């Protein structure tokens, strides 16, 4: 098997086989390198009707951050197992649709780089420039593909992997009136964070009230959670953010609600517990001890399950009218005025 040396891809293919007819599987592109072909898979399940809400899960955009793919594969493994016996799950999937793209950048994961095999950082690759000053290099650069955070050539086409993400989001999420996307990463801080747009500007997004309502709903339902919710711009700004690009293009002049979120797992905590991980570029972004890996793989299941319930039941909590204005004022005070 050509991808036998990439364990995450082997596991994904196994889950596809086990899911059988419950899953709709496609491979919108394939990445060739080292004499191998690495398919980029998309998986969908649930109601395909145009009127149901959709929840999308994405991971592995940065090849170094294997844990993002691994937590999604762990969740998908649970769903596939439950499809065999869980009537409640089948009832839930009748009211919504789930889509997965758990390994966006298999070439980068194969070669243990943040970028794809062409040296492009896929999260700096969208045709969108920041409105305000960005950190040097970190915010995206066009000096050289040999340097980190390379955006790709100006005015050139998006990378195959980036375009595959955009095509899936436009087809499956932005075609519905309500959708949520969660992109799983690691590498920032000592806390797990839930980031939301914008990344290219400090200006709040149009659907800040809905983001605030979702955060409040989660905090009320799980008051002991350990996530920090915040706009990404509160930490740093970047050029070319895929989710800003999709949000701006997909929600302008429409009544649809699209909430793109990023789970940024705090890998500094893993390094703090084992400083030797600093000397390995893969270990810097991933838990290496078996017990820590198991803990990470299970700790986010509550958040994933909550997002399924929130998407399916969005009609009961999405704010409208005066409540929406109040939620926006609360969110502005919480994230932009403090």
Identify the CATH number of the domain in which residue 108 sits: 3.40.630.10
Q: pLDDT at residue 50 above 60?
A: yes
Asked if residue 156 is part of any domain, the answer here is yes
At residue 16, the pLDDT reads 98
Tell me if 287 sits within 8 A of 296, measured CB to CB.
Answer: yes
Residue 337 is encoded by which pair of tokens?
């005025």
- Closest residue by Cα to residue 6 from 75, 105, 114: 105
At residue 269, the pLDDT reads 75
**Lowest-pLDDT range, 65-74, 77-86, 133-142, 290-299?**
290-299
At residue 274, the pLDDT reads 74
Binned at pLDDT 50, 70 and 90, residue 243 comes out as very high
Residues composing the chain: 338
Tell me if 7 sits within 8 A of 69, measured CB to CB.
Answer: no
Q: Where are the beta strands (DSSP E) in the chain?
A: 24-33, 36-46, 54-59, 97-101, 178-186, 193-196, 228-231, 257-265
Asked if residue 2 is part of any domain, the answer here is no
> Burial letters for 209-220: b for 16+ Cβ neighbours within 10 Å, e otherwise?
bbbbbbbbbbee
Asked if residue 116 is part of any domain, the answer here is yes
**Residue 293 vs residue 76, higher pLDDT:** 76
Helix (H, G, I), strand (E, B) or coil at 111: helix
DSSP code of residue 21: G
Asked if residue 63 is part of any domain, the answer here is yes
- Closest residue by Cα to residue 260 from 241, 274, 282: 241
Binned at pLDDT 50, 70 and 90, residue 2 comes out as very low
Asked if residue 1 is part of any domain, the answer here is no
Asked if residue 238 is part of any domain, the answer here is yes
Helix (H, G, I), strand (E, B) or coil at 265: strand
Asked if residue 157 is part of any domain, the answer here is yes
266-275: long-range contacts (C-beta < 8 A, 24 or more apart)? Answer: 266/186, 266/188, 266/189, 266/190, 266/191, 266/192, 266/193, 267/67, 267/186, 267/187, 267/188, 268/188, 268/189, 268/190, 269/190, 269/191, 272/190
pLDDT digits (tens, 9 = 90+) for 108-164: 999 999 999 999 999 999 999 999 999 999 999 999 999 999 999 999 999 999 999
Q: How many domains does the chain have?
A: 1
At residue 1, the pLDDT reads 35
Q: What is the DSSP string of 122-183?
A: GGG-SS---SS---TTTT-B-S-TTSTTB--STTPPPPHHHHHHHHHIIIIITTSSEEEEEE
Q: pLDDT at residue 91 above 60?
A: yes
At residue 279, the pLDDT reads 61
Tell me which residue has tokens 């040097």.
Answer: 136
- In the sheet with 178-186, reading across from the earlier edge strand, the strands are 24-33, 36-46, 97-101, 54-59, 178-186, 257-265, 193-196, 228-231
Tell me if 260 sits within 8 A of 123, measured CB to CB.
Answer: no
Question: How many C-beta neighbours within 10 Å does residue 160 have?
Answer: 16
Helices (H) and strands (E) counted in the chain, each on its own, are 11, 8
Torsion sign, CA atoms 104, 95, 170, 30? positive
Binned at pLDDT 50, 70 and 90, residue 255 comes out as confident
Binned at pLDDT 50, 70 and 90, residue 57 comes out as very high
Average pLDDT across the chain, whole number: 94
Tell me if 68 sits within 8 A of 186, measured CB to CB.
Answer: yes
Owning domain of residue 72: 7-337
pTM: 0.96
SS3 content of the chain, % helix, strand, coil (to 5): 45, 20, 40
**Residue 57 vs residue 251, higher pLDDT:** 57
Per-residue pLDDT averaged across 259-264, rounded? 98
Residue 112 is encoded by which pair of tokens?
């243990």
Asked if residue 177 is part of any domain, the answer here is yes
């Amino acid at each position: 098997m050509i991808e036998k040396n990439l364990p995450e891809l082997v596991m994904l293919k196994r889950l596809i086989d086990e899911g059988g007819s419950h899953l709709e599987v496609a491979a919108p592109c394939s990445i060739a390198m080292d004499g191998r072909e690495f398919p980029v898979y998309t998986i969908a399940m649930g109601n395909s009707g145009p009127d149901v809400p959709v929840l999308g899960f994405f991971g592995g955009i940065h090849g170094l951050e294997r844990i993002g793919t691994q937590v999604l594969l762990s969740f998908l493994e649970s769903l596939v197992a439950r499809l065999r016996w869980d009537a409640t799950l089948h009832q839930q999937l009748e009211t919504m649709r789930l889509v997965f793209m758990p390994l966006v950048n298999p070439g980068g994961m194969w070669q243990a780089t943040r970028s794809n095999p062409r040296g492009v950082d896929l999260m700096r690759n969208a045709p969108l420039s920041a409105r305000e000053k960005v950190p040097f290099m970190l915010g995206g650069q066009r000096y050289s593909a040999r340097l980190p955070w390379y955006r790709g050539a100006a005015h050139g086409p998006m990378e195959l992997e980036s375009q595959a993400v955009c095509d899936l989001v436009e087809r499956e999420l932005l075609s519905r009136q309500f959708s949520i996307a969660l992109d799983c990463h690691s590498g920032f801080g000592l806390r797990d964070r839930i980031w939301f747009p914008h990344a290219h500007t400090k200006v709040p997004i149009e659907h800040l009230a809905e983001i605030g309502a979702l955060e409040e709903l989660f905090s009320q339902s799980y008051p002991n959670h350990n996530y920090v919710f915040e706009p990404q711009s509160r930490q740093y700004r970047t050029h070319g953010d895929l989710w800003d690009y999709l949000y701006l293009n997909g929600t302008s002049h429409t009544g649809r609600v699209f909430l793109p979120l990023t789970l940024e797992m705090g890998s500094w905590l893993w390094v703090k517990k084992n400083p030797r991980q600093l000397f390995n570029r893969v270990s810097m972004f991933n838990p290496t001890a078996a017990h820590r890996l198991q803990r990470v793989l299970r700790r986010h299941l509550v958040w994933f399950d909550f997002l399924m319930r929130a998407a399916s039941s969005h009609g009961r909590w999405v704010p409208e009218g005066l409540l929406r204005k109040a939620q926006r004022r609360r969110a502005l005070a919480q994230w932009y005025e403090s």
